[in-house]
């Protein structure tokens, strides 16, 4: 009986090790550039429009191109709701590009000014369609952001951190899996460019949950320019 028990433990351990060995994490170095224009249309009606090329595979080729825009309504000085649309192109080596279309609703909220900085939140609900499937995927995203001037009384240079979690609300025939989808964490600086425009430069870590327990970690040099008027 003892030998049988020992054999069972050894077999179970071997199976667990094999399962862990099969699940793997791949890593990549990337460069993301974000060019965003934003401002007032009329009264409480506002907008933003952005272009985001993302260079992957060791910063050697285009990994994704994202075009996104939205119209919003300011419910208060600290709270704005948006309806937007995004188009993403995912190049495929030796094959046809995959296109993704997204409709999204967004709530942007400036929560307050704790510890001498500014704390804000962005909640986004997405409806997603891809050219390699027919299902519509639902995804919820939540970002918490904090920025603080490095010199009191000046916004020329702000320390900036944020985190964003993604949850897929359903599974699809093109690969989305219900549950945790990805997480992003950023650390860097916000630089004032004059006329309320800013640049954000720093390091972004993106962890993506993939199939069969695999994961992908992207180490991203992130450069974002925001043109406000």
Residue ranges of domains in the chain, CATH in brackets: 30-228 (2.40.160)
Instruction: Look up the pTM and report it.
Output: 0.88
Segment 31-53, tens digit of pLDDT: 999 999 999 999 999 999 999 99
- Report how far apart, in Å, the C-alpha atoms of 158 and of each of 20, 21, 80 are: 42, 43, 23
- Facing residues of 225 across strands? 35, 199
- Give mean pLDDT, residues 7-27: 55
Residue-level pLDDT at 22: 57
Segment 117-152, tens digit of pLDDT: 999 999 999 999 999 999 999 999 999 999 999 998
Segment 188-221, tens digit of pLDDT: 999 999 888 999 999 999 999 987 789 999 999 9
CA neighbor of 88 nearest in space, from 51, 36, 135: 51
Q: Within 10 Å of residue 29's Cβ, how many Cβ atoms?
A: 14
Residue-level pLDDT at 14: 44
For 126, list phi and psi in degrees, rounded to 5: -115, 145
- Give mean pLDDT, residues 141-170: 96
Flag whether pLDDT at 226 surpasses 80.
Answer: yes
Please, which residues have CB within 8 angstroms of residue 51's CB and are 6 or more apart in sequence?
A: 34, 35, 65, 66, 67
Residue-level pLDDT at 5: 39
């Amino acid at each position: 009986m003892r030998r049988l028990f020992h054999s069972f433990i050894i077999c179970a351990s071997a199976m667990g090790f094999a399962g862990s060995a099969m699940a793997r994490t791949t890593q990549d170095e990337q460069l993301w550039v974000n060019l965003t224009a934003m401002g007032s249309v009329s009264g409480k009606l506002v907008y933003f429009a952005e272009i985001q090329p993302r260079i992957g595979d060791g910063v050697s080729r285009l990994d994704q191109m994202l075009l996104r825009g939205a119209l919003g309504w300011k419910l208060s000085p600290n709270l704005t709701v948006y309806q937007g649309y995004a188009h993403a192109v995912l190049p495929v080596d030796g094959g046809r590009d995959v296109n993704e279309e997204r409709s999204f609703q967004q709530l942007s909220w400036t929560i307050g000014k704790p510890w001498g900085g500014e704390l804000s939140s962005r909640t986004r609900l997405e409806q997603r369609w891809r050219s390699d499937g027919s299902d519509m995927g639902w995804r919820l995203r939540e970002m918490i952001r904090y920025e603080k001037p490095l010199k009191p009384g000046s916004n020329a240079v702000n320390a900036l951190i944020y985190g964003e979690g993604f949850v897929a609300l359903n599974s699809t025939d093109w690969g989305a899996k219900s549950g945790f989808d990805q997480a992003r964490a950023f650390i860097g600086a916000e630089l004032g460019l004059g006329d309320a425009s800013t640049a954000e430069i720093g390091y972004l870590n993106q962890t993506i949950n993939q199939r069969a327990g695999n994961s992908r970690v992207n180490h991203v040099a992130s450069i974002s320019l925001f043109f406000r008027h």
